[in-house]
Structure 1
Amino acid sequence: MKVFFGSDSPGSEPKMSILPKLRCITVDVTGTLIAYKGQLGDYYCMAAKAVGLPCPDYKRMHEGFKAAYTDMAKKYPCFGYAAKIPNVDWWRSCVKDSFIRAGYEYDEETFEKVFRRIYSAFGSSAPYSVFPDSQPFLRWARQKGLIVGLVSNAEYRYQDVILPALGLNQGSEWDFGVFSGLVGVEKPDPRIYEIALEKAGNIAPEEVLHIGDSMRKDYIPARSVGMHALLLDRFKTPDAKSWRQSGALVLPDLMAVRDWLTKEEVLAADQQA
């Protein structure tokens, strides 16, 4: 599938500016605006130690969690949205299965103490860090008069607790959010982007640019509904080469996106002069 972003071929410069045509920018969250800090095992270890248990093996814990999360997400997608499972209960089942798969079985009382610490930690800003260009870029976009939306496969605590604790607030950095745990649709389902268009005020998809870090979850589904899209390669992933070969515009960070859009704006002014 080759989808070229405003250009005649991959890597070539767009012939027309896109910024004057935009009314909205939507942005992925994890990997684009924020990143996990440390390892999963760090937080599971701290929780176990806090109740007098030995630290679980990091590798086994990581593999156990990955398998448990995949299974829960398949059985009860969007953090149990359709099944009306409370968020805390969804995570309790996931975390318990993670420990069991890793070879650790605790009695109910002990597990509950460990789980509460883990659930609390991941509902705070502690396990996350904000990329230094995230807040400046979002504020710049809003100052330009653009509507800024977040589109993420995340639960409600991202919107209500985690992002505000990280200094990314609705009203100053972003205008609306589409979180899978709150809307019941998750990437790569294109419907999550259609919901974003509705929340932005039912604007036309060609007036929206989506920025993400996944060809499968961000670029392809956003383009499939008619939105513009580009990808960030913050971590020098080997996949970036194939992204470019597929026709995607790939930039290193959000400052590069701003520079690209600003250059586009100057280009448009020159063309009109």
Structure 2
Amino acid sequence: MRPRLLTWDVKDTLLRVRHSIGELYSSEAKLHGIQVEAEALDRSFLAAFRKQDELFPNYGLGRGLSSQQWWGDIVKRTFRLCGVNQERVLSPLAENLYRGFCSARNWEVFADVRDTLTHCHQLGIRMAVISNFDQRLEQILANCELRQHFEFVLTSEDVGAAKPEPRIFVKALGIAQVEPEQATHVGDDVWKDYLAARTVGMESYLICREEEEEPVGAKGLVPKAHVLHSLQQLCSLLK
């Protein structure tokens, strides 16, 4: 049965970041007269992100932080771990990187996305976004010329709950006023997308554009028929 509502994850499902975090941070640092190797920044970012997410999950919303504060702290900690400690430099770095991340030049739309979204529209399928992202996602989608495809964009910052928590999926179903069995979710994460959607009664598919037949972590959890190696497969399933 064709779904009434098709919900989408975004990062690594519809879009991917063109450059590594280290490359982005290193390029911005050069504009401020600071030379830091991208590889070192990649390592520091991973440590800073893990620590921040452990202390303040989901952008620190439950602890009174905004997503901009949350990311700003990560940027500053990342550079401090690389030996950059001047606050007069760290604050503008954090501000510029937070705002600049929205630019379309930082994102690549996967080649199979635009035709798939257009095809779904032609079939009369309503679409929305469910993403563990912050308030910038609306602007990112608009800048990448994808926002017009979706009735609404629901982020974990909006809801105060992140996938795989059921609440974000239930919220989307409520907004669209459809029953779980009338909705299908597509994403790239076994636990946060494929299984989380099925927990609330939705159908779901796992997108894995890599060549391997079975995505990492999917063994015994995701039937091969539910793994998409291209969104063109989804178009065929929806006909």
TM-score higher than 0.5: yes
Q: Which of 103, 108, 111 is the equivalent residue of 1:124?
A: 103
Change (3 A) 1:91 1:200: same
Aligned equivalent of 2:196? 221
Aligned equivalent of 1:49? 30
Q: Shift in Å at residue 133 of structure 1?
A: 2.2
Change (3 A) 1:238 1:43: farther
CA distance in 1, matches of 2:143, 2:217: 36
Q: For residue 164 of structure 2, give the secondary structure of its aligned residue in structure 1.
A: coil
1:143-169 deviation line (CA, Å, top 9, x unaligned): 32222011100001111x111000012
CA distance in 2, matches of 1:120, 1:238: 38
Q: Shift in Å at residue 125 of structure 1?
A: 1.9
Q: For residue 82 of structure 1, give the secondary structure of its aligned residue in structure 2.
A: helix
Q: Which amino acid aligns with 2:164?
A: P
Aligned Cα root-mean-square deviation (Å): 1.8
Q: Which amino acid aligns with 1:194?
A: V
Query: 8 Å contact 1:243–1:250 — kept in the other structure?
Result: no
Structure 1 unaligned spans of 5+: 1-17, 263-273
CA distance in 2, matches of 1:228, 1:136: 22
Q: For residue 156 of structure 1, give the secondary structure of its aligned residue in structure 2.
A: coil
Aligned equivalent of 1:183? 159
Change (3 A) 1:118 1:136: same
Query: 8 Å contact 2:190–2:218 — kept in the other structure?
Result: yes
Q: Which of 213, 225, 230 is the equivalent residue of 2:205?
A: 230
Q: Shift in Å at residue 237 of structure 1?
A: 5.4
1:210-269 deviation line (CA, Å, top 9, x unaligned): 11111111111111111001111113357527626434310112111102222xxxxxxx
Q: For residue 105 of structure 2, give the secondary structure of its aligned residue in structure 1.
A: coil
1:186-215 deviation line (CA, Å, top 9, x unaligned): 0111221111111211x1111111111111
Change (3 A) 1:120 1:251: same
Identity among equivalent positions (%) equals 29
Query: 8 Å contact 1:244–1:250 — kept in the other structure?
Result: no
Summarize the alignment of residues 72-221 of structure 1 with structure 2, pairs less than 5 Å apart: 72-101=52-81, 103-159=82-138, 161-169=139-147, 172-201=148-177, 203-221=178-196
Query: 8 Å contact 1:33–1:134 — kept in the other structure?
Result: yes
Query: 8 Å contact 2:104–2:144 — kept in the other structure?
Result: yes
Change (3 A) 1:239 1:100: farther
Q: Which amino acid aligns with 1:163?
A: L
1:89-108 deviation line (CA, Å, top 9, x unaligned): 1111111111223x222211
CA distance in 1, matches of 2:216, 2:84: 43
Aligned equivalent of 2:8? 27
Structure 2 unaligned spans of 5+: none
Change (3 A) 1:52 1:86: same
Change (3 A) 1:94 1:140: same
Q: For residue 104 of structure 2, give the secondary structure of its aligned residue in structure 1.
A: coil
Query: 8 Å contact 1:138–1:174 — kept in the other structure?
Result: no
Query: 8 Å contact 2:173–2:180 — kept in the other structure?
Result: yes
Q: Which amino acid aligns with 1:47?
A: E
For CA contacts below 8 A with separation 6 or more, give which structure has more relative contact order: 1
Query: 8 Å contact 1:150–1:178 — kept in the other structure?
Result: yes
Change (3 A) 1:123 1:28: same
Q: For residue 193 of structure 2, give the secondary structure of its aligned residue in structure 1.
A: helix
CA distance in 2, matches of 1:90, 1:241: 29
